[in-house]
Structure 1
Amino acid sequence: MVNKLCMKMEITNHPSKLVKPSKPTPPILRNYTISFIDELAPTNKIPLILYYYAPPYFSPQKPHNKTICDHLEASLSETLCEFYPFAGRYTRYIALVDCSDQGVPYVLANTNVPLSKILGGLGRGFKPDLLNDFLPCEIGETKDGDDPMLSIKVTTFGCGGLAIGMCFSHRIIDVATLCTFINNWVARSKGVYEVKKYSPVFNSTLYFPPKDLPKLYLGPLRPSISAHVFRFNRDAIFAMGKTVGYGGTMSQSPSKVQLVVALLWKAFVRIDQANNGQSKASFIAQPIELRKKLDPQLPTNSFGNFWGLITSQLKPGKGENIGFQGFYKILSDSVKKANTDCSKIAKHGEEGHHVIIDSYLESNRNVVDDDVNFYLFTSLCYFSFYKADFGWGKPVWASQGKYPIQNLVVMMDDQEGGGVEAWVHLNEKCMRELEQDSDIKKYNNTSFSQGKNTNTGIRSKM
């Protein structure tokens, strides 16, 4: 089958500009100190692309892109007054962001193809790296000095549709902060801004003061690795749930995220066994959002990185005789333990801090161990990307791009809301074998569809 995205897609990038806060950042806020979880966070960029159909008032005779892009720029400038670290630059040796309003790179672009051609090419054979052209910069590490904390690119399609591509520095924020920023920007764009609801709360160092800790290491950057999007729709998630006992021996509905992690982990172990005779030790790391897990809970709009790591592991050869339900149980037990441990973090001082720190250090040891297969699964599910209506409608799709990181899986909600898109990054040989795995083929849906959110009965949280 020919991939429809293999067509010649020409993107013309116009000269970028630096968007600065509409009001100067006060001198008292010029130095933003990062927390120890910020120190531990990987320094790569977090990409996000939101795709929109043309506004209902679009007419080819009256191009709208300049008006919309100017409006987005103006509302972005206003939003940066509150999210001022995004307009600054990070300096590692003093572990702070210089918030001198250096600005956010803002790039306008246009392409010759309609959005329908992009969406129509997302089936079998789709290559995620093609989407990186809609991002304002490469998905790599954030460097010191001149590297921005946030960059934005707005691409106009031939049909009048838009793609808003963003790259955020993981050094200072997590996905929850990313969503708070987008919600703030959206509200300002529509003129319905609610101050308290979407204003950032800068409280990270109050709970997690800096300690000069090493970052989470994800291995060397590998631009040549293979990336593939596996789509598990609502029906597939429901079928997985039945396989692990939901509706039978399991009374509590399973998490769709953990179902997908279990399915892929089982396949990874099976591939390793087939290639080596016996599977290596296997180590899984998954971020866990801390704001609502701590006691007391923190505001959802707390700015920064507020996440720990859930770790699960298998000894050599131990995963070969475990079924899907067994993998799910290992993950479920790890989640339960992490939830219990999180309640201790805020109340036990230094001991509580080590609940977070130790899992990062354990992951760093395993990622460099040649006798261990390390996998990072990170979930962007349940966030509000599909609600980001800047004034001309909600996104028809929210996507990632291709990361230069091996053994990485990024999970996102599908368009209908009940399924999961798994953006898997492996070496080319393992990817070919994964695509042929019997369980993956059983549940993977190769078509791209659109629709309203539906309820599967499957839990929406870990």
Structure 2
Amino acid sequence: MVLLPGKPEVISREMVRPSTATPDCHRIHSLSFFDQLAPPIYGPLLYFYLNHESHRYSVADIAENKIRALKVSLSEALSTYYPLAGRMGDDPLTVHCNDEGVIFLQARMNTELPAILNHPDAGLRDEARKLLFPDDLCYKSTSLSSPLVVQVTSFECGGMALGICVSHKVLDMSSFCSFINYWAATASTLGHNIKLQPDHRLEFTLATLYPPVDLPVTKTVEPPKVRNVVNRFVFDASKIAKLKAIVGSKIENPTRVELALALLCSCAISAATDNSSSKGGGASQLRSALLIQAVNLRRRLMSPLPPARSTGNLSSVFAMSIAEGMEKDLVLLVSMIRRVKTEYFNSCAVESVGNQFRSFIIKTTAEFRKSSTEEAAKVYPCSSWCGFPIYEADFGWGKPVWVTAADFVLTDVIILLDTRDGLGIEAVVSLEEHEMAALERDQKLLAFARINPVVGPVMIRP
């Protein structure tokens, strides 16, 4: 039997401010059109790091040195990524870059990290995973104020978990990876007489290229009224290859994201249909489903922008309606995802200038929002983080052994991430409790995915 770890003890809470004051000319950061469309939510990510230090040093000393390096390097990184140290004001289209700082919490947990990695079903399912983010942190709320919050949790073995909450209004996943890897590179140079030079090409100027428009302001996203459960479904490379062999005979070279997303949607909709039937006394009340997938536009526009020049949100969404019964045909779902995505990207490339582009994005956004409010429609927001360099964040003590999405406020959400080898997919799925129970029993899904598998095996130090 694996004992769940106790609640982390928060031992310090402080503000980390930029090492260099933000110039007056940068004190107001205007949000762009794409920032404006981004949902007012926080993305909680967990980075797990093993302790590779020599046993000549005590665990306490190792943890103290690492945390000191994290704070010093974060302070330096914030001088470049200065909006993250600011605050969202009453004006929903600006960030006040007042150097108020990033909330930085230090905590410790009375267990060894390998015990969690070897038994994530017991060590991180639901409650224990939430414990790495205290209840009063911003990711539990959707009201916007502080763009970034960090918690470092030290384990008895010297390993650590780095929990990061970042506002989607300020950074999308591409920009977040640029920030976290810049922070990590800064930390890795400490003590080596190397000064990482700021990237002067980095500009928060997307509002100049894509200024905001007059749209209704969404300040909060209401959390679900039902209990949601979050689970991990891991598709190993070998299972993806088998799935591809089944679908690939009818669709040319389907991607691993298309395959995993189609299968998850198929099974999730089936679970929702069964749940709806039980509530309706045998007749399904679920008439349609809507898949909403976030997409990175940086390489899709007519004039692509280099990452250093596109810090912020440069992403959008496309929507795909799935009529009742369609979820049973996996090949059909894969082909629909590809077709709708291709049509959307082609339209973006053609319309990616001036008011035409903004009108196109507004029109498509309004269409799926209208569809999502229809009676008996089930909406599944999905975001694929596959291909982003999330495993490259080396702060000087090695790359993370595991990166995963933390608990969600929202339900019916699907997040796809690379596995550590870059070949498989880890899907973090949030569903209503009864629907998740049905999904866990779905043999069609279990033939290709493992539920909450071990991250290791990882040896516990003697």
- Identify which range, 426-435 or 127-136, moves more after superposition: 127-136
Looking at structure 2, the residues matched to 368 and 209 of structure 1 have their Cα atoms a distance apart, in angstroms, of 28
Q: 1:133 aligns with which of 107, 131, 134?
A: 131
Indicate the SS of the match to 2:302: coil
State the Cα distance separating 1:272 from its structure 2 match.
3.8
Q: 1:168 aligns with which of 140, 149, 166?
A: 166
1:358 corresponds in structure 2 to 363
Q: Does 1:305 align with 2:313?
A: yes
Question: How high is the TM-score relative to the length of structure 2?
Answer: 0.89
For structure 2, list consecutive stretches of 5 or more residues without a partner in the other structure.
Answer: 278-282, 458-462
Contact 1:40 1:214 in 2 (8 A): no
Looking at structure 2, the residues matched to 82 and 299 of structure 1 have their Cα atoms a distance apart, in angstroms, of 17
Indicate the SS of the match to 1:17: strand
Contact 1:182 1:388 in 2 (8 A): yes
1:391 corresponds in structure 2 to 396
Indicate the SS of the match to 2:382: strand
Indicate the SS of the match to 2:29: strand
| Seq. identity, % | 27
1:256 corresponds in structure 2 to 256
Indicate the SS of the match to 1:412: strand
Q: Does 1:10 align with 2:7?
A: yes
Post-superposition CA distance 1:273-306 (Å, at most 9, x none):
4343454111110011011111110112311111
1:334 corresponds in structure 2 to 340
1:368 corresponds in structure 2 to 373
Q: Does 1:103 align with 2:106?
A: no
1:211 corresponds in structure 2 to 213
1:454 corresponds in structure 2 to none
Question: How high is the TM-score relative to the length of structure 1?
Answer: 0.89
1:443 corresponds in structure 2 to 448
Looking at structure 2, the residues matched to 212 and 303 of structure 1 have their Cα atoms a distance apart, in angstroms, of 22
Q: Per the alignment, do residues 61 and 330 of structure 1 end up closer, same or farther by CA in structure 2, a change over 3 Å counting?
A: closer
Q: 2:288 aligns with which of 281, 285, 307?
A: 281
Q: Per the alignment, do residues 198 and 109 of structure 1 end up closer, same or farther by CA in structure 2, a change over 3 Å counting?
A: farther
Indicate the SS of the match to 2:12: coil
Contact 2:116 2:124 in 1 (8 A): no
Looking at structure 2, the residues matched to 51 and 203 of structure 1 have their Cα atoms a distance apart, in angstroms, of 33
State the Cα distance separating 1:170 from its structure 2 match.
0.9
Q: Does 1:200 align with 2:198?
A: no
Q: Per the alignment, do residues 8 and 69 of structure 1 end up closer, same or farther by CA in structure 2, a change over 3 Å counting?
A: closer
Give the total of aligned pairs.
440
1:231 corresponds in structure 2 to 234
Q: Per the alignment, do residues 345 and 77 of structure 1 end up closer, same or farther by CA in structure 2, a change over 3 Å counting?
A: farther
State the Cα distance separating 1:139 from its structure 2 match.
2.0
1:33 corresponds in structure 2 to 30
Q: 1:139 corresponds to which letter in structure 2?
A: Y
Contact 1:184 1:199 in 2 (8 A): no
2:460 corresponds in structure 1 to none
Looking at structure 2, the residues matched to 395 and 226 of structure 1 have their Cα atoms a distance apart, in angstroms, of 25
Looking at structure 2, the residues matched to 236 and 126 of structure 1 have their Cα atoms a distance apart, in angstroms, of 24
1:406 corresponds in structure 2 to 411
Q: Per the alignment, do residues 126 and 194 of structure 1 end up closer, same or farther by CA in structure 2, a change over 3 Å counting?
A: closer
State the Cα distance separating 1:324 from its structure 2 match.
1.0
1:157 corresponds in structure 2 to 155
Q: 2:243 corresponds to which letter in structure 1?
A: M
Looking at structure 2, the residues matched to 215 and 270 of structure 1 have their Cα atoms a distance apart, in angstroms, of 34
Post-superposition CA distance 1:121-168 (Å, at most 9, x none):
224895144222223624234435xx3110111111100001111100
Q: 1:329 corresponds to which letter in structure 2?
A: S
2:383 corresponds in structure 1 to 378
